[in-house]
Structures are given as structure tokens and as C-alpha cells.
Amino acid sequence: MDSSSKDSLRALPSIDSLIGSDEGKRLCISYGKAAAVKELRAALASLRDASTQIADRQQAAAYALAQAGKKLRSNLPGLVRVINATGVVLHTNLGRAPLSSMAIRAAQEAAEGYNDLEYDLAQGRRGSRQAHVAGLAASLIGAEAALVVNNNAAAVLLCLDALAKGGKVAVSRGELVEIGGSFRVPDIMSVTGAVLLEVGTTNRTRVSDYEKAAMEGAAAILKVHPSNFRVTGFTSEVGTRELSIIAKKHDIPLIFDVGSGCMANVEAFGLPSEPSPKVAIEEGADIVTFSADKLLGGPQCGIIAGKADLVAKIARSPLARAFRVDKMRIAALAATLAQYESEDTMSDIPVIAMLKEPFDVTMSRAVKLCSMLKGRAWGRAGLDGVAFKPVETLDEVGGGSLPGATLKGAGVHVSSKGVRPAEAARLLREAKPAVVALERAGGMLFSMRAVREEELASLADAIVQAFGKDEEGT
């Protein structure tokens, strides 16, 4: 071993000195001491094998800590950050609605320490976790009371268990939907012991069908918005007002699963109308249920709202505790609901902002991405055969909301003579952060609808890595 190599080895810091440094302590706290030590040893080993000379111990320590931190972050268990370039705003497989900055801060504050989750600070005694959010939810949609549970399937199940257990529930055949993952309305109903009473036909259901069901002893009427498909042509359904009259006449509850929890005027964004929980209550529904992580733009949970006596009965169900939400979701939901109190703050909710974004703004991001790609591709031999250009797109709402509705959007189409779309798609999924886009027209289409400005640089880097080749063609 020559003297320069011996000097380099002497410059290497010890593991104890690395984990004793401020950055080393942070890595141990964040990722665990065993994992931190493992990656620090690997970083030091790479320095021993490297041909580059280490100037001093300080430089070696900085390198080892940086490399270990990078590896620890990339190997962190749990969810992987994804750039959604599919053009689907509420992509169920990618986590549906991203939270607003206000909701994120609220959830983070709830997670960082103790709070009054189930403690009444004014009275100095046990309180209710529902107190932080139920009143706000009820007020926004004009209901007497509300209850928050962990998702909308749980909300429907709880309502049927508390209000119709063992009894018949009238449901239109056209509303016996499957909500995804093979979970179907009849299956949810059977768990509660309620008996499905099908009325009408797949495409047409009349007032007389529900009237007959009520006279046959139905314990409740359940209306379900088919939010993930549309039936067109020779169709008819019974509206909430008409169903409310039948329910009141026979003294049975009308439960309306409105689905996406839309509280914004989506028609102003160029989209078709979507059932609103507020309108459903105004038209006579006794109970409405809906998701918070769809068009509402909040965290995953289900909201039950309606008549106070019925909500109280639902809350007393033994299943209610099994479906309760945690402190972080309560905090994030409360912050999201509060943003609906004004047009300005509502527009800060990412889902709302993405749906209402003008075409020219979306196209400007596509043009900017092309500019970034041109800058990165300049002088790289492996990118000679790569073509990219801004294009118009048809984007979707997704997440079981507004099926078939599209928004005019913009994106970037990238193709290569030497890289197949399927291979590029795989490499994009392996990027950090991962990128999910669409294979289109012999290349990849990157829609800008759900891509944030601050994600463009990372997206450009991932595209170059996926489509580029080194000089050896590998």
C-alpha cells in the first residue's frame, strides 16, 4: 500500500465519532441506531475501496454521513412518494386526495405531541373525539348532527346496523353497486343482518316500487349514488324529495349514500353535477353518508350526518368504536372542513385547485417541463433519439367520482427510438420519487393536471434517466 493510500485510510473517522456527531445522532433517532451504524459502515467501506483521495477526516465524515442519510431515506419502510402524471386527480391506487397545507400542519401538530383528543379542557374531564369535527361537518351541510368514522363503507354499515338490523332495506336494483375491491352493497348489508329488498329494475325504478316495499314492511330506504359508473338511455330513478315523502309516510328512515362528498360547485369547473350532502339533507334525507378523501379533498374517513336522534342511535352501535378515526385524521379533516367556510381558503384544497385550474396554466407547466428536458438533454449522446413535445390531454376526476367526465388538460409526450414505453414505465416507477404515467402513442404521456410546480425538476430528472442511454448504449 502506498503512502497516499495509507493517509486516506488514516483520514477515515470512527463509527463512534460519526454517530456521536449532531448529524449522526439525528440519523440514529430518525432511523434507529442499528440501521444508521450499518449504513455508516457501508459508506466508510466505499471510501476504503474508492480510488479518490480523501483530503481529511472532516471531509470523510461529511461524505459518510451524507451517503448513509441518502441510503436510509431511500430504504425507509412504508409508503413511497409518487409523482402522479396520469391525469387522474383522485387516483385511488395513489392515495386519492392530497391534503392541503393547512390540513398537513394540523395533522403534524396532532402527531407531534399530546392533545385534547378525548379530553374536555374547559371541564377538566373526559370528552369526545367527535366534538372536534362533528359540529363543523353538520353545520357545513345543514344537518342536525354528524359522526365521523374511518371510511364511507363503514359509515353505510353502521347506519344499516343501527337503523335496520334484521329488517328489510329497500334498494333500487340500479344502485346495487360494487365500490371497488369486490366490496358490494349487498355484502355490506348482509354483515349487519339487514335483508336486501330489491326494487325496480337495473335501468328504471319508480315511486310505486318503493311504496310497495314500504307497505311490505321495509325498515329503511337506502339510496346509493352510483358514483363509479353511469347508466344512460332508457332510465329513470326516484329523487330524494319523493323518497322522503314515502319514508315519512311509513315512519322509516331514508339513508342516502351520496358517495364523493362534493361541497364545491364543480359545474363551475366545466364538470357535470354531483350529488351534494347539503342538497340531500335539504331535500329530505334523514341520513347522508359520504367519503372525505374524494371530492371533499380531505383525509380518508366517512361522514354520517342527519337527524340528531338517528345519528345518536348510530353512534351507540357497538361497531362505532371499531370504526373510529385517529387524532391525525380528525385534525386534518377539521382543517379541511374549515377551509370550506370561504371561497379563498377552499381554493387552497389541492383537489379543488386541480379541478378548477385553467387550461393555459396547466399548459404552461407542460412547456416548462419541455424546457427542463431540453436543458438536461443538451449534449447527451444517449438522448439523441428522444423526442418530447407539449400536447393536449383529457384528464379524469377519478376515485369513484364523476365517471366519464373529462377536463381539457395538458401534458408532455416523450418517445424514444431506443427505449420501449414499457421499459421506460418500469424505470420511472423505480425513480426516487417514483413516477406513474401513461403509455400512449408509442411513448409515455405525462399529464400536468396533478403534477405540482415543485415536482417538475424531479420529474424531468426521472424522464431523462428512463429514456437516456450512456455512450455504451446500456
What percent of the chain shows pLDDT beyond 70? 90
Q: Which domain holds residue 86?
A: 82-92+355-467
The neighbour count for residue 41, using CB atoms within 10 Å, is 14
- The answer on 441 and 424 residing in a single domain is yes
More confident residue, 228 or 214: 214
| Same structural domain, 274 and 411 | no
Contacts of 473 (CB under 8 A, 6+ apart): 382, 418
Average pLDDT of the chain to the nearest whole number: 88
User: CB-based contacts of 50: which residues, under 8 Å, 6+ apart?
Assistant: none
In this structure, what CATH number is given to the domain that contains residue 444? 3.90.1150.180
Report pLDDT digits (tens) over 78-112.
788 999 999 999 999 999 999 999 999 999 999 99
Q: Are residues 323 and 430 in the same domain?
A: no
Same domain, 225 and 127: yes
Do the domain assignments include residue 472?
Answer: no
Give residue 396's pLDDT. Answer: 93
pLDDT at 470: 44
Same domain, 67 and 86: no
Please state the φ and ψ torsions of residue 77, each to the nearest 5 degrees.
Answer: -70, 155
**Strand runs labelled E in 102-244:** 119-120, 125-126, 145-149, 168-172, 195-199, 218-224
pLDDT of 380: 58
For 153-310, strand residue ranges (E) read: 168-172, 195-199, 218-224, 254-259, 287-291, 302-306
Least confident of 167-181, 212-226, 233-247, 313-327: 167-181
Of 356 and 376, the one with more pLDDT: 356
Q: By three-state DSSP, how is residue 353 classified?
A: helix
Are 149 and 274 contained in the same domain?
yes
Contacts of residues 113-118 at CB distance under 8 Å and 24 or more positions apart, as own/partner, are: 115/327, 115/331, 117/327, 117/330
Q: What is the pLDDT of residue 204?
A: 86
Higher pLDDT, 177 or 219: 219
Higher pLDDT among residues 369 and 13, named by residue? 369
474 assigned to some structural domain: no
Q: Are residues 338 and 361 in the same domain?
A: no
For residues 127-148, average pLDDT: 96
Same domain, 282 and 220: yes
Q: Are residues 45 and 120 in the same domain?
A: no
Residues 360, 421, single domain; the answer is yes
pLDDT of residue 307: 98
For residue 188, name the pLDDT band (cuts at 50, 70, 90): confident
Answer whether residue 146 is part of any domain. Answer: yes
Provide CB contacts within 8 A for 308, sequence distance 6+: 144, 145
The answer to whether the beta carbons of residues 332 and 157 sit under 8 Å apart is no
Rounded to an integer, what distance in angstroms lies between the CA atom of residue 136 and that of residue 128? 14
Of 11, 76, 10, nearest in space to 39 by CA = 76
CA distances from 115 to 100, 272, 317 (A): 21, 41, 26
Alpha carbons 88 and 86: distance in angstroms, whole number: 5
Q: Is pLDDT larger for residue 55 or for residue 244?
A: 244
CATH of the domain at 244: 3.40.640.10
CA torsion through residues 281, 285, 289, 290, sign? negative
The pLDDT score that the predictor gives to residue 474 is: 42
Identify whether the C-beta of residue 263 lies closer than 8 Å to the C-beta of residue 339.
no
Cell readout for 418 is 431506443
pLDDT band at 56 (very low <50, low <70, confident <90, very high): confident
Confidence of residue 473 (pLDDT cuts 50, 70, 90): very low
pLDDT over 50 at 128, yes or no:
yes
Tell whether 389 is covered by a domain. yes
User: In a 3-state reduction of DSSP, which class is residue 205?
Assistant: coil
473 inside domain: no
* pTM (two decimals): 0.83
Number of domains the chain contains: 3
Q: State residue 291's pLDDT score.
A: 94
What's the confidence (pLDDT) of residue 322? 92
Q: Is residue 158 part of a domain?
A: yes
Q: Give me the pLDDT at residue 383, please.
A: 65
Tens of pLDDT, residues 358-414: 999 999 999 999 999 988 765 555 566 789 999 999 999 987 778 778 899 999 999
Q: According to the model, what pLDDT value does residue 408 have?
A: 95
pLDDT tens for 401-456 read 787 788 999 999 999 988 999 999 999 998 888 999 999 989 999 999 999 999 99
Mean pLDDT across 216-222: 94
Q: Let me know whether 179 and 229 are in one domain.
A: yes
The answer to the question of residue 17 being in a domain is yes
CA 227/CA 177 separation, integer angstroms? 9
